[in-house]
Structure 1
Amino acid sequence: MLCYASAAFLVGACFGYDGIINGASIAMPAFTLYFGETTPDGQTYLPSVWTSLWTAMTGLAQALGGFGIGFAMDRLGRKWTMVGMAMFSVTGVAVQFVANSRAALLVGKMLNGLAIGALFAIATAWASEISSARLRGIIQSSLILFQTCMQMLGLGIIRALIADMRPRAFKTAFAIQWPLAAVLVLVFPFVPESPVYLINKGRLEEAKKSIAAIYGKTNSIDARFTHLVGMIRRENSGHEVAAGGYLDCFKGTDLRRTLSVIFIISGLNVCGAQLLTQNIYFLLIAGLPVKHTFDIGIGGFALSICLVIASWTVLERLGRRGLFLSGPLVSAVLLFAIGGLHYVSGVGAVWAVAVMMNLLIAWGVVTFVSAGWALTAELSTYRLRAKTQSIAVVSNAIVQWAFSFVTPYLYNIDAANLGARTGFVYGGLATIYLAAAFWIVPETKGLSVAEVDWMFENQVSSRRFQTMRDQARAAAA
């Protein structure tokens, strides 16, 4: 199982590298010289409208990709849609590589964003459908681990190219996305199709073979197959079609599940992610030397990797809810501190802002991202999992789009010019989000799909999922 799941981890790597390149490449001097403008006093900068468009429209394209792929997944399956979208990513990277204008670069970023959004929706759905309940949280978290590893590597690559003032510096950074997509094209034809998809299509013999490939032929295949078929048929009972549509995600008990997924997946962006992902450019404006901004960023991602690995124990022993709630709590405290440092003069204050921003990135990866994606994979029914994961990707991308468009106007010198005071804005939002999350985010640690179904069908409060576990287990038996 873990061997096959590692194929999905490659998508996490693609998603992570694309995200870091979008934010970090605009801090490269070669990029600014090629696509920027110059003030009357000779200062080179990137216009706020274009920094907003490059980040925001990429997020919008990811939303469109995540939404559209939900239909394709249920019609064509998981693995072949993965191959097709990986090939589409190759095209998007090519457009970025040859772009000689801001508009052409925007088109390339949107094409690749469309593919990346689709790929991540497929990967999270497929990985959750081949995972056992015991490993589901760790496998979803491993997607984030690979994402973070690639973000650190991407930042290191840009750091190595930072002194090169020629256009080939940022073009090389873009081109590295080609081999990542190529590996997906080569690997995914050989992985087993999702047994959930095959059962929903009535291809039971193929589903049984898929389960045998995933778990091993001697690992209670008949029992696993019978249990999965029973679960899916129970979920599908009373519905005309096995695979529900997007509207079904907003009906009956699925409405609460879907709204919970949207809320959970939006947390990172609501609590300041777009300020943090643009931290290199932000810190350059604040006066920190280029090489130091990258060095601190690389250190922050290294810390993220260590924390994600450590979170595997926390996810399974202490649960998802507590870890997730610590995200907005810590974010609120540190973002208010960052805002306050605007009024402190000297290079020490800038260094303090840099350190806190990277600590927030690391903590956000563990809480909002690692625990968050584990929760979204566990809250949906088998019947609507592909659609729900698509909605999660779409929601994340739309919220990311909105905040990434607004954020440069908050801190940039040619707009509101708040600088570090932007931390006050996001600190306030994090406080509000924490209050709401306390009532909305459930604890799904150790619960089977049937037990989670029972919780929602019986309208159990999100805060009581663990206290009602025995009743759910008895009802699902």
Structure 2
Amino acid sequence: MLGFGHLDLKGTFNARLTLTVLLIAFSQFNFGFDNQGFASTQAMDAFIKQFGSYNEKTKKYYLDPVWVSFFNGFMYIGQASGVIIGSYISRRWGRRMCMFTMSIWAIIAATIVITSKSSDQILAARVLNYIYIGMELSVVPVFQSEITPAQTRGFVVGTYQVALYVGGLIINCIARGTGSMPGREAYMIPYGLFYVVPTIVSACIWFVPESPRWLVLKDRPEDGMKALRQLRDGKFTDQEIEEEFAVIVAGIRQEVEQGSFQDIFKRDQFRRTMVVLGCNFLLQATGQIFTQMYGALFVKSLGTINPFTVTIILAVVNTLTAILAMVLTDKLGRRFQLLVGASIQAAAMMTMGGLGTASNITGGMKIGIVSMMVVSSFGYSLGWAPTAHILSAEIPSTRCRDMTYRTASVLNVATQFAVSFSLPYLLNAPYAALGSKVGFIFGSIAVLSIVFVYAFVPDVSGRSLEEVDRLFESSIPMRKFGKVKVDMTVENTKGGDDTVFVHADITPKNQAVHTEDRRV
């Protein structure tokens, strides 16, 4: 039975945690504004006239495919830089400082976007704006995973993708209304939203608690306990809060040194790193960039359906599906959700590619191609879109979380760049001119993603981050993580010599398999 009962939101979220989660999710709206705002406006006649070239033969303005590839590819240079900068700030000065810094930067970048009048300026503006997007990617899922109770972590981190889609839906609706305007206001009105979100976030972020885990990691246990109490008071007893904090402290003291880049590939971290890297690659390689970034331009080239109508349909489907996925992920599990979503993507992309092989593509076939774009987007929003971010935040160890997440995010961005930069050449003449036959490429990758999930992706739904650490330290295969129970106890946390004993009992079906004691 579908619903929120398994999450126990009323019994878990106090006012402070609720407001913190909402503010962090709200910051993600700007990613949706940028992602879908630029995708929609590229199909506007006013945008094409302002930043395109004039064809003397057709007497029409057009966007050069080479420039389009730069416009939708070079921005990832900014995003990769933002990931590195944001991860460093987040690790050194805290999650809140990273969010404050990125918001101030976004206001500066938005000013350059709004004042752009040449193709070079709008290209540079988008690259600069994506530094904000990269910083956001580096901090939001990590911050969310560190402050949320284990049983609702998937639900909360899922807001990352939901907020992106809601932001995209808002800007698509505005673009639909302004698209027929003849002047620069057609696309500048939607871009005006770029100022709103970072201004509010920068003003409010200091009113939310810092991550308790980050505070303990920085040897500030008193502040960490204070932050955890703010996030749990009224919904958990003092004893439950103290027990949770004791486990956090024990886990961090056990891994007191923060991991380097080399550490994430060592034997004890290798499995975790490969899972996170694989998820971030497949998140961007299974076709979502085609449907979301080039969807409006591709639909316009088909000449059958209003491209702005299609972008709104995609935005609505993505938003509703992401909300459904956010509710279900802690109940159905990460593996199951990924397997279903990737299967839908593979089937839709292969069908779209097949329709594009006809020598004479009819109007009905074109509608079928567009429909498969929507179905593929549904599968992506159900599976990879929310779940990859959840896994990236919860799989890395406490010691290596920032470095693993930073490395995976850079791979994520590099994959986006490779796909975005190559798509104009794959889609259009005089280059490969594959059109909808690119579905065969993305469909094949989606099939490989199904194999990857089945073989390597563990299900750690409902586990605390410290329980995840214990599971990876055990000899249990990752595919069986969801079938075992982990009981963790911490003793002597208030001893005079600061001695902590961590006891983890891992049992499948009530049969003891692995018991360990750690002295910290």
TM-score (norm 1): 0.93
Instruction: Give the letter for the 1:351 counterpart.
Output: I
Q: Decide which of 189, 198, 203 is 1:172's aligned counterpart.
A: 189
Give the C-alpha shift of residue 59 in structure 1: 2.1
Name the residue aligned to 2:231: 214
Q: Structure 1 11/251 Cα, relative in aligned 2: closer, same or farther at 3 Å? A: farther
Q: Structure 1 213/110 Cα, relative in aligned 2: closer, same or farther at 3 Å? A: same
After superposition, residues 11-26 of structure 1 pair within 5 angstroms as: 11-26=27-42
After superposition, residues 44-63 of structure 1 pair within 5 angstroms as: 44-63=61-80
Name the residue aligned to 2:273: 258
Q: Structure 1 435/267 Cα, relative in aligned 2: closer, same or farther at 3 Å? A: same
Distance, in Å, in 1 between the alignment partners of 2:42 and 2:254 is 52
Matched, 1:245 2:279: no
Name the residue aligned to 1:273: 288
What SS does the corresponding residue of 1:143 show, helix, strand or coil?
helix
Distance, in Å, in 1 between the alignment partners of 2:108 and 2:35 is 17
Give the C-alpha shift of residue 313 in structure 1: 4.1
Give the C-alpha shift of residue 17 in structure 1: 1.6
The total of aligned residue pairs comes to 473
Matched, 1:394 2:410: yes
Name the residue aligned to 2:510: none
Matched, 1:439 2:455: yes
Which gives a bigger RCO, structure 1 or 2 (Cα 8 Å, sep 6+)? 1
Q: Is the 8 A contact 1:340 1:421 kept in 2?
A: yes
Q: Is the 8 A contact 1:86 1:119 kept in 2?
A: no
Q: Which entry has the higher C-alpha Rg, 1 or 2? A: 2
Distance, in Å, in 2 between the alignment partners of 1:426 and 1:142 is 26
Q: Is the 8 A contact 2:52 2:119 kept in 1?
A: no
Name the residue aligned to 2:88: 71
Name the residue aligned to 1:465: 481
Instruction: Give the letter for the 1:301 counterpart.
Output: A
Matched, 1:341 2:343: no
Give the C-alpha shift of residue 276 in structure 1: 0.9
Q: Is the 8 A contact 1:162 1:169 kept in 2?
A: yes
Deviations 1:308-339 (Å, cap 9, x if unpaired)? Answer: 22224431222110111223221111111111
What SS does the corresponding residue of 1:93 show, helix, strand or coil?
helix
Distance, in Å, in 1 between the alignment partners of 2:88 and 2:283 is 27
Matched, 1:192 2:226: no
Instruction: Give the letter for the 1:134 counterpart.
Output: Q
Q: Decide which of 299, 316, 328 is 2:313's aligned counterpart.
A: 299
Name the residue aligned to 1:82: 99
Q: Decide which of 50, 64, 69 is 1:34's aligned counterpart.
A: 50
Q: Decide which of 353, 358, 371 is 2:387's aligned counterpart.
A: 371
Q: Structure 1 459/26 Cα, relative in aligned 2: closer, same or farther at 3 Å? A: farther
Deviates more, 1:204-213 or 1:129-138: 204-213
Name the residue aligned to 1:287: 303
Distance, in Å, in 1 between the alignment partners of 2:170 and 2:318 is 13
Distance, in Å, in 2 between the alignment partners of 1:468 and 1:407 is 44
Q: Structure 1 256/303 Cα, relative in aligned 2: closer, same or farther at 3 Å? A: same
Give the C-alpha shift of residue 5 in structure 1: 0.8
Percent of matched pairs sharing the same residue:
23
Q: Structure 1 238/279 Cα, relative in aligned 2: closer, same or farther at 3 Å? A: closer
Distance, in Å, in 1 between the alignment partners of 2:38 and 2:506 is 45
Instruction: Give the letter for the 1:267 counterpart.
Output: L
Deviations 1:44-89 (Å, cap 9, x if unpaired)? Answer: 3211121111111222321221122222112111112211111101
Deviations 1:106-160 (Å, cap 9, x if unpaired)? Answer: 2111111011110232111111110010110000112211111111111111111
What SS does the corresponding residue of 2:200 show, helix, strand or coil?
helix
Distance, in Å, in 1 between the alignment partners of 2:249 and 2:224 is 12
Distance, in Å, in 1 between the alignment partners of 2:516 and 2:33 is 42
What SS does the corresponding residue of 1:472 show, helix, strand or coil?
strand
Matched, 1:417 2:433: yes
Q: Is the 8 A contact 1:286 1:350 kept in 2?
A: yes
Deviates more, 1:376-385 or 1:214-223: 214-223
Q: Structure 1 223/189 Cα, relative in aligned 2: closer, same or farther at 3 Å? A: same
Unaligned runs of 5+ in 1: none
What SS does the corresponding residue of 1:176 show, helix, strand or coil?
helix
Runs of 4+ in 1 over 4 A off after TM superposition: none
After superposition, residues 92-241 of structure 1 pair within 5 angstroms as: 92-216=109-233, 219-221=236-238, 223-237=240-254, 239=256, 241=257
Distance, in Å, in 2 between the alignment partners of 1:87 and 1:414 is 42
Instruction: Give the letter for the 1:123 counterpart.
Output: V
Q: Structure 1 149/205 Cα, relative in aligned 2: closer, same or farther at 3 Å? A: same
Q: Is the 8 A contact 1:327 1:368 kept in 2?
A: yes
Q: Structure 1 79/419 Cα, relative in aligned 2: closer, same or farther at 3 Å? A: same
Distance, in Å, in 2 between the alignment partners of 1:258 and 1:4 is 29
What SS does the corresponding residue of 1:82 show, helix, strand or coil?
helix
Instruction: Give the letter for the 1:210 counterpart.
Output: A
Name the residue aligned to 1:322: 336
TM-score (norm 2): 0.86
Unaligned runs of 5+ in 2: 1-16, 487-504, 508-513
Deviations 1:141-191 (Å, cap 9, x if unpaired)? Answer: 122111111111111111111101212221222221101111111110111
Distance, in Å, in 2 between the alignment partners of 1:238 and 1:379 is 15
Give the C-alpha shift of residue 218 in structure 1: 7.2
Q: Structure 1 60/222 Cα, relative in aligned 2: closer, same or farther at 3 Å? A: farther
Q: Decide which of 355, 375, 380 is 2:396's aligned counterpart.
A: 380
Give the C-alpha shift of residue 257 in structure 1: 1.0
Give the C-alpha shift of residue 220 in structure 1: 3.2
